[in-house]
Structure 1
Amino acid sequence: MAAAPIMPATFQPNSQSSMVSGPVNSTYCTMPQSQSQSLSSHQYQPYPNIQPGFQLTPSQSMSGINTSPPPWAQELSAKMDCIFKQLEKLDAIENSISLIQTEVKQLGERVRDVEVSQQFINTILEEDKSDIKDVKSDLSILRKSFDYMQVANNKLSEEIIDLQSRSMRDNLLFFNIAENEGENCTEVIKKVCVDNLDYQEPLEIDRAHRIGKLSAGKQRPIVVKFRCYPQPDAVKKSSRKLKNTNFSIGEQFPKIVQERRKTLLPVFKEAMERGKKTALVRDKLYINGVLYTGPEGSQPA
């Protein structure tokens, strides 16, 4: 079977130039109009010496035909390339804008969630502020109540101490008296008062006994309760006669008063050494007639 002939390029002339298209790699060709007319009569004739299945190359093109694109085609092609590049950039920009819009939408939703949360927190804070205000008011009332109760408690404590001190007003303590098993403390005290104090009046003693825990080599003091107040005061005044002996006599006080007196005794002795007039009455020290109120308090120089 004979090979089908290869059709030549088809020319469509115009007033300036003709454009060739066909199986020759779609190459644009420009030629004079005279040549275009001469070729139009042979537009359906096969080219000689062209084997089937081959395409024309620029070297095989017809003699005298300009195979390069015209300037306007080149310019158009360049503009099209530029347009395509711009379109690609626009596509990329459109994609970016779409992504930004999505992110902005998500961000807006997050902002709305944050605003709702903030509004909820503000509501809680306002409630907490109201609660704190109520708590502060209650705390202020409690503080006032505590201060009042503390003052009342101190006052009550002082009253109890005063009552205890008054109940012990008729009591005297006798120290460093030999302790014997089965002794009668009342008789022992009467003998000490007669022998060491030269107290000849009959003693009216309600009761007498030793206080404290029994300890080897230690003499426990004897507490004596007299029936009437003037007698213990008289016995106490006579205790000056025990100055050169091991015996001593003192008043009985509640424990807290004893602790206060211990802190006041050094000041009492120092004031006496300076020749000041001193008086230790229960748990209060007077120096030159002025109440001693501590190192920072007012006291005579």
Structure 2
Amino acid sequence: MTDVRLELQQEREKVKLLQMENAQLRERITKVETESDYVSSQLKRNNIVVHGIEEAENGHETWAESEEKVKTLLKDELEIDTVEFERAHRLNTRSRPRPIIAKCVSFKDKEQVLSAAAKWKDTNTQYRIAEDFTTRVRHIRKNLSKFLRQAREQNKRCRLSYDKIVIEGKTYTYDALNDDIKPVGRPR
């Protein structure tokens, strides 16, 4: 009986060590994921995603053709003809026409385009220009959108801001565990 107790105690100690190691690894993984997401978001910092531009009939479009279509849209619809792109191409999605992702040479150009495209917000246009977000941020924004709709239905001032939602001046983040939003900051 004593041997069994001793063996049980040793096994409990092993389990405790494994639990501590597991917690440390989880913490390291979270840190690496956060750093990776930050790096990815910096790489996407100057990107815009343009929806609604018709595709070539054969479905094959060169990068130069995609870039020219975006430039034409910006000039004709937003009266912007100074934006330079590093590259532009169609995204590989099922939706048709496929969106074009374009990397602006400067962040200021991207901000100019997004600011001008905001005029389409309440219009019935086929075009939409959005920021390019990481997969994690897109997932969070998708979940936050239902809270955005609810707040708007209650006539509250609200907006999405990166991976958070601002309602009546208060900032919230998405709580995936409870499928709810929670205030950002320390509880008081």
TM-score, scaled relative to structure 2? 0.82
Map 1:104-253; keep pairs closer than 5 Å.
125-180=1-56, 181-182=60-61, 184-200=65-81, 202-213=82-93, 218-242=96-120, 243-253=123-133
Structure 1 runs (4+) greater than 4 angstroms displaced: none
Taking every aligned residue pair, what percent have the same amino acid on both sides? Answer: 24
Match of 2:167 in 1: 287
Aligned mates of 2:115, 2:135 — CA distance in 1: 23
Aligned mates of 1:292, 1:177 — CA distance in 2: 34
Which residue among 133, 136, 139 is the counterpart of 1:256? Answer: 136
State the shift of 1:273 in Å. 3.5
Q: Which has the higher strand share?
A: 2
Q: Mark the CA change 1:164 to 1:182 in structure 2 (over 3 Å): closer, same or farther.
A: closer
Q: Secondary structure at the match of 2:41?
A: helix
Match of 2:149 in 1: 269
Q: One-letter code of the match for 1:236?
A: L
State the shift of 1:169 in Å. 1.1
Match of 1:297 in 2: 182
Q: One-letter code of the match for 2:10?
A: D
Q: Mark the CA change 1:182 to 1:292 in structure 2 (over 3 Å): closer, same or farther.
A: closer
Q: One-letter code of the match for 1:156?
A: V
CA contact (8 A) 1:168 1:253 kept: yes
State the shift of 1:254 in Å. 1.6
Aligned mates of 1:146, 1:251 — CA distance in 2: 37
Deviation digits for residues 190-225 of structure 1 (CA, Å, limit 9, x no counterpart): 10001011114x111000000114x6x821000000
State the shift of 1:253 in Å. 1.2
Q: Secondary structure at the match of 1:249?
A: strand
User: Where in structure 1 are there 5+ consecutive unaligned residues?
Assistant: 1-124
State the shift of 1:296 in Å. 6.6
Q: Secondary structure at the match of 1:292?
A: strand
> Aligned pair count?
172
State the shift of 1:134 in Å. 1.2
Aligned mates of 2:181, 2:149 — CA distance in 1: 18
RMSD: 2.0
Deviation digits for residues 131-155 of structure 1 (CA, Å, limit 9, x no counterpart): 1111111211211121121122112
The one of the two structures with greater contact order (alpha-carbon pairs below 8 A, sep at least 6) is 2
User: Where in structure 2 are there 5+ consecutive unaligned residues?
Assistant: none
Aligned mates of 1:199, 1:168 — CA distance in 2: 21
State the shift of 1:277 in Å. 3.0
Q: One-letter code of the match for 1:196?
A: E
Deviation digits for residues 210-246 of structure 1 (CA, Å, limit 9, x no counterpart): 0114x6x821000000111111011001112333310
CA contact (8 A) 1:196 1:241 kept: no
Aligned mates of 1:152, 1:130 — CA distance in 2: 33
CA contact (8 A) 1:172 1:250 kept: yes
CA contact (8 A) 2:55 2:61 kept: no
CA contact (8 A) 1:174 1:248 kept: yes
